[in-house]
Amino acid sequence: MKFGIVLFPSKKLQDLANSYRKRYDPHYALIPPHLTLKAPFELNEEQIPAVSALLRDIAGRTKPVSLNIAKFSSFSPVNNAIYLKVQATEELDQLQTALNQNDLSTGEPEYAFVPHITIGQKLSDDEHSDVLGQLRMTSIDHEEVIDRFHLLYQLENGSWTVYETFHLGREE
């Protein structure tokens, strides 16, 4: 089974993201707006309890994280995804690192972690530049604290179901 690890931002921010995703993101119906902490990886049934315990341990020794959002940005020219740019913080970096090393390493080459909440993807070049041009003129100044992350698995139709919630900074 394919698993992934994400943060869900507040309802307010999810509603804002969905107002764009509805038009610009073909994944709109597959998963709520999210910040990916660990890209999709394979786990078989027998591995789940150990991974779950490891995630609980990581969560327990990580403080709740701040999401500061000040602008829209894009991964262009790598791809035409547009996103809410989340300001890098030490806590967020540490959490992402912990979720991608040692027993949780998937052996994939490591890319720099760019925390973001996607609001559009797979856009044509023209649409991408139109939408990004408009959004760059939009001002955002949003800050919130998130105290949990979620382990999800993917169904055959491409949608994601939550397997478990992990609480940041809470020993369980």
Residues designated catalytic? 34, 116
* Interacting positions 124-163 with a copy of itself (CB under 8 A): 148, 150, 153, 155-157, 159-163
Shortest gap between Cβ of 83 and a copy of itself (angstroms)? 18
Sheet of strand 35-42: strand arrangement: 142-146, 65-74, 82-86, 116-120, 35-42, 2-7, 148-154, 160-167
The identity of residue 83, as a single letter, is Y
With respect to a copy of itself, which residue has the nearer C-beta, 15 or 110? 15
Provide the Cα torsion 115, 119, 120, 121; round to 10°: 40
By CB under 8 A, tell whether 53 contacts a copy of itself.
no
Peptide bond into 32 cis (omega under 30): no
By CB under 8 A, tell whether 97 contacts a copy of itself.
no
The identity of residue 10, as a single letter, is S
By CB under 8 A, tell whether 20 contacts a copy of itself.
no
Binding site for a copy of itself (CB under 8 A): 1, 8, 11, 14-15, 18, 22, 29-30, 32, 148, 150, 153, 155-157, 159-165, 172
